[in-house]
Structure 1
């Protein structure tokens, strides 16, 4: 590079340049201007790039069309603000209909200046449909979230150059006319690569554990489960789920109870690579992983945790089959972590009467073959601490992640399958929000509703919630306390019974246990059921705090190893090394 000018210190521009290099894009046609100065000066002094000049932007776009058609490789065009970018449109239209990978990088001082009579501020927020396959904005970087946004948007744009047969793409990049070009070594940026069924796929790294994480998912087919299980058997992996994941195969793990602990961390919750499938999840308590490979037929960049490195645009079954070997049978990891979770489960202290305590009692007693629905969010989290029995599927409206419609969704499913039992647990705000469906004349005897009535949106008062510090002050408006009868013991009873429901109620542990067997009866009854349970705010919060803080000290696996070491030391002191070796030889021989 030139000894005086190197890379700009504008981090958003550095990210774009680093990702262009990571994706192998080197041809640039630059048009004169000030607004694109930080980009152009940086690439002209980097020997990786081949740069040509074109004063006329219209000609520059067509030059790029010819170059892209000749080489089959992407070509960058860069211009300043004002009307310069408008002159790209004819060439980009040509590129669109010929599927030519032309990347137009326009520069701007920021959309916040639009509409304020500022010179050379052209509105590029809405493009004609046929000049770009993708259009993204690369803002200035102020913090880590801005940096992540720039990385995702730049990767998305670059990958769109070849997506669906290819075509032109637009990046609108902010600048502050930075004059500092003293950055000699270009800081790295996280590149994301997309793979399709036609590609030679990268190897699974062998430098750490591999896990599969499943967000909310449509019902799995038998072949999908078999493919996942073969993958796990090959790579000694495990499938981490919550109750909306739907996977019930050999390698199922529900780690929320262990990974949610605040004072303790298991080494078994650490992995190198996460294979991410499914959609939105309500699971906050995750294992730790370094890198993510996303598998989905949509091929979109879903960077849930900021660690996305590869996207596999293919059916999940195809992915898992291509990474599996016949005859493999590894189960060491899944067995170890599930054993540890069972040991942790046995140490749960006696919890206050609460949603979580009820989940502890209910989860293992759910009738075989039923479908279990949960409301957002306290109910979903409460039951996620406990694994459901084999054969039971669970659902929750995590797509929009609102409290509305949970019961209607369950009832809709029950109408489609009247021979199946549907059981749901919902908080009082969710219940009253969706109470019209309780009176729907089509509701059958295969529907049972557990209503947890604490007289408010107790989530906002729970331990760890951003609003919990407000205390009683939150009840006025944030937690919306006091609505819908303010925990009336007659309102829901009359409503349910007048609609033909069998009504049950409880307000303490003994009362709940006395009606639980009836509520969870595996036999179909002639009426739908509604079990209303009254709980208190502090008990709900205390139960959540206790279940997240009862484990302390070293991880259980470390504890086991330390115990083994202590036993060996004691034996050596008592028997001596010679006797221990003699005993070992005797056992072997």
Structure 2
């Protein structure tokens, strides 16, 4: 009888990646839930499998085997209390820094606590038993699969990350008896590089994507510029990237167009920094992450290498004296042609950004509230000496004003500017009751609603006006009452002025930008319709109206309807 691999995708990923990372020693204990795994490896000549009925003994065997062979050892057991017997041996491995990968198999997680036989909760582990623990559920969609690929790569790499030690995988099974996969699939492999074994950099277009980032030093900027010059790379930025070198490409405007203009696709994306702020549209065949923490971060599910090192060292390693860069001209030329086509915009946050961004004073700090404001101000460039920040870490509206004030208090010799929507502003109002220094310049965009939820391309747009009351919180905070914020500012000794039109804004803009002996707040009253219309105008300067695009959209729609109907 011929035996092949299981059709359970999470198990296939595990088996494939164990082979890709060179792990072959397995100690198996008998059971039912781990049959998909054991049945897939026992006829594969690559693996060296040992049998141990007692899981406690198996874990200690793994310690001896890992120590003597100087290589990782895999443990596999079934559900129920079998895994509890690993505790003493894994504790030993933890304190001796031995690379033991404990794979405990389990039933569907929804059965835990419901008096279903032979299933226990393995969601938490003792802190000195394993370095990390991963829950690997069954795979039902592409996102499930890509998470599984990333997580199992991470688990295997964690065996030797920093100090070596044991790692746990809780592998879910569907009890499939279909051992029908004749050829083991290959899945994306992630490698960690620590100052050696550098991979060869791919040929083609390279994008350095900078998420939220602290201020770059002159040396760091020079290293990135040198890399770009050598390797046909461009630096994909939003405002909070804070890279201001020769190859900066503020990509939101160009890449948000309905039609691809040739600046979205890259052969390699190099990701530095942290959580980005603009929901940028771009795609990479693969991604490399560079950070001294060496942690696996895979937001686009295309990570292949993580470099545990300083960014400057990485870029200098891949730089030589050659010159090879055509992509930056493509990006700049495309953007310039697009900017020449910008139509007349309605009075809105977008129009304000267009008229104001370039005039933010040199050497100042700009804070942007999340979502709509942050997105919009990424369409227009600010001066190169301006540093930009946003609460993109947790990505909530609840603390942007406080973060801004904290920054302004710390650096009172530097002018601080903030663009903030009404919901974010009123949510974090308490901070205004502290003593505020005179280097503070607020611009409050008050449209009386959460405009993010009223934009033409947002999910809530499906509901139209029915989104107002609960999704978009329309009507809170006085619903654009011109006296509410004005009275507050008068009582708190904050200079106040307001604008309801382009003409009024133009007359007051310089006052808002100028240094003052008191904090300044300009309230700008717009409408959610104008905000949405302006965004749509900016995103549709170049549209794809071809029949192919229409067919593609309609096909996607039909597929979704079939899924809903269950056909």
In which range does the TM-score fall when normalised by the shorter chain? over 0.9
Bigger Rg over Cα = 1
1:367 corresponds to: 361
Q: CA deviation at 1:551?
A: 1.2
* Aligned residues of 2:415 and 2:439 also touching (Cα < 8 A): yes
Query: TM-score if structure 1 supplies the norm length?
Result: 0.90
- Residue 32 (structure 2) pairs with residue 34 (structure 1): yes
Deviations 1:181-200 (A, max 9, x none): 11101122222111112x22
Partner of residue 335, structure 1: 329
Q: Supply the distance in 2 between the matched residues of 1:552 and 1:526 (Cα, whole angstroms).
A: 48
Match of 2:526 in 1: 535
Task: Name the CA distance, whole Å, in 2 between partners of 1:531 and 1:12.
Answer: 55
In structure 2, what is the Cα distance between the partners aligned to 1:58 and 1:284? 48
What is the rounded CA distance, in whole Å, between the counterparts of 1:330 and 1:371 in structure 2? Answer: 34
**For 1:36-435, what aligned pairs fall within 5 Å after superposition?**
36-197=34-195, 199-206=196-203, 208-262=204-258, 264-325=259-320, 327-435=321-429
Whole-angstrom distance in 2 between the partners of 1:515 and 1:234: 46
Q: How far apart, in 1, do the equivalents of 2:535 and 2:128 lie?
A: 53
Conserved? CA contact 1:230–1:328, under 8 Å: no
Change (3 A) 1:271 1:416: same
Q: What SS class does the counterpart of residue 163 from structure 1 fall into?
A: coil
User: What is the CA–CA distance in structure 1 between the aligned matches of 2:491 and 2:437, rounded to whole Å?
Assistant: 15
* CA distance in structure 2 between the partners assigned to 1:73 and 1:532 by the alignment: 64
Q: Deviations over 1:89-113 (max 9, x none)?
A: 2221221111111111111113322
Could you tell me which runs of 5 or more consecutive residues in structure 2 were left unpaired when the two chains were aligned.
547-567
Unaligned runs of 5+ in 1: 556-589
Task: Assess if the C-alpha contact under 8 Å between 2:255 and 2:263 holds in 1.
Answer: no
SS of 2:213's equivalent?
Answer: coil
Instruction: Verify the 8 A CA contact 2:278 2:371 in the aligned structure 1.
Output: no
Q: For the Cα contact (< 8 Å) 2:113–2:120, is it kept in 1?
A: no
Distance in 2 (CA, whole Å) between partners of 1:376 and 1:358 is 17
The alignment yields a C-alpha RMSD, in angstroms, of: 1.6
Shift of 1:331: 4.3
Aligned residue number for residue 473 of structure 1: 466
Please identify, of 181-190 and 36-45, the stretch whose mean Cα deviation from structure 2 is larger.
181-190
For the Cα contact (< 8 Å) 2:13–2:148, is it kept in 1? yes
What does 1:440-459 align with in structure 2 at a 5 Å threshold? 440-441=434-435, 443-459=436-452
Following the alignment from structure 2 to structure 1, what is the Cα–Cα distance between the partners of residues 363 and 507?
A: 23
1:156-195 CA distance string (max 9 Å, x none) = 1111111112111111111122111111011222221111
Partner of 2:457: 464
Structure 2 residue corresponding to 1:14, chosen from 3, 12, 15:
12
C-alpha distance in structure 1 between counterparts of 2:53 and 2:470, whole Å: 60
Q: How many residues align?
A: 546
| 1:473-531 Cα distance to aligned partner (Å, 9 max, x none) | 1111111111111111111112112222221211111111111122122xx21121111
SS at match of 2:344: coil
1:31·1:53 contact (CA, 8 Å) conserved in 2?
yes
Runs (4+) of structure 1 moved beyond 4 Å? none
